[in-house]
């Protein structure tokens, strides 16, 4: 598969999995579950940058026919071992038919890809007319830190930048909202301990628990238009 270097690739070590106890992975799973309830019936879905296939498994639990794509052969092997239909592939050059999917997931992927416009265009291409893309991405370059560099990100997105990216791919953006509003100060507070690669270790249990509680509280508050640490977008292919 084509690759422009390490910052262009999505691999097992760079894509968070929805299946572990990390507060954000649990929160992302909750958002995805809520979005799936919007559909009158399940259909065909593709998870781009799927990691080990946790989102694809969640889709299957809700009756969707899910296909997972990831650049990492190890991630794909792990997904297949858990019963996921998974293929090695590059988000910028999807070896998938055009117009074949009702739903495309692009969760915490685009910020790792230099040519994010090409990846977004590929997502639009594989959606059927009227199909939906659900995107999540790290928010706000003001929060940029050594942790982002160590993780392999090449950017964080503002709302306007994310909307322009998706609209440039020919999608109609229906909604953009923030998550992680209440925990927004945390990256700044922890920046001093995020300057070494060993800081990629899991969060301390007490901190992880506090962040999970904060996320649960945030769901009940009208703060989705406020600046947060992550952005979600729902977009539709016209037709």
Res 226 pLDDT > 70: yes
Fold of 6-236: Rossmann fold (3.40.50)
Residue 174 CA to residue 102 CA, distance in Å, equals: 16
Please, which pLDDT band fits residue 37 given cuts at 50, 70 and 90?
Answer: very high
| pLDDT of the residue at 188 | 55
| pLDDT of the residue at 218 | 67
**Helices H, strands E: what count in the chain?**
8, 7
Closest CA to 93 of 73, 71, 68: 71
pLDDT digits (tens, 9 = 90+) for 19-32: 567 777 888 888 89
Least confident of 111-115, 140-144, 212-216: 212-216
Which of residues 1 and 19 earns the better pLDDT score?
Answer: 19
The CA R_g of the chain, rounded to the nearest whole Å, is: 17
145-161 mean pLDDT: 94
Res 6 pLDDT > 70: no
| pLDDT of the residue at 186 | 66
Sequence ranges of the domains in the chain: 6-236
Res 34 pLDDT > 70: yes
State the number of CA atoms in the 13 A half-sphere of 200 facing the CB.
13
Res 54 pLDDT > 70: yes
Count of Cβ atoms closer than 10 Å to residue 110 Cβ: 28
Residue 118 CA to residue 113 CA, distance in Å, equals: 9
Please, which pLDDT band fits residue 217 given cuts at 50, 70 and 90?
Answer: low
| pLDDT of the residue at 8 | 37
| pLDDT of the residue at 3 | 33
221-231 mean pLDDT: 79
Which of residues 10 and 92 earns the better pLDDT score?
Answer: 92
Res 216 pLDDT > 80: no
49-63 mean pLDDT: 96
Q: What is the pTM of this model?
A: 0.84
| pLDDT of the residue at 99 | 98
| pLDDT of the residue at 66 | 98
If residue 126 lies in a helix (H) or strand (E), which one and from where to where?
Answer: helix 116-126
């Amino acid at each position: 598969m084509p690759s422009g270097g390490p910052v262009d690739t999505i691999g097992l070590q760079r894509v968070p999995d929805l299946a572990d106890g990390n507060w954000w992975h649990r929160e992302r799973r909750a958002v995805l579950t809520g979005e799936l309830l919007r559909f009158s019936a399940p259909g065909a879905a593709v998870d781009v940058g799927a990691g080990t296939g946790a989102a694809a498994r969640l889709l299957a639990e809700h009756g969707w026919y899910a296909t997972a794509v990831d650049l990492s052969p190890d991630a794909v092997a792990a997904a297949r071992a858990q019963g996921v239909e998974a293929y090695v592939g590059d988000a910028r050059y999807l070896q998938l038919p055009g117009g074949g999917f009702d739903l495309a997931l692009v969760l915490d992927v685009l910020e790792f890809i230099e040519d994010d416009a090409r990846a977004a265009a590929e997502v639009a291409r594989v959606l059927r007319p009227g199909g939906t893309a659900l995107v999540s991405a790290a928010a706000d370059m003001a929060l940029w830190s050594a942790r982002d560099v160590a993780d392999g990100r090449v950017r964080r997105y503002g709302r306007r930048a994310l909307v322009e990216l998706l609209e440039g791919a020919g999608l109609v953006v229906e909604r953009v909202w923030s998550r992680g509003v209440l925990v927004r100060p945390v990256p700044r507070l922890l920046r001093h301990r995020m300057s070494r690669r060993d800081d990629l270790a899991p969060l301390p249990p007490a901190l992880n628990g506090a962040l999970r509680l904060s996320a649960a509280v945030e769901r009940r508050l009208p703060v989705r238009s406020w600046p947060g640490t992550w952005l979600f977008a729902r977009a539709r292919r016209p037709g």
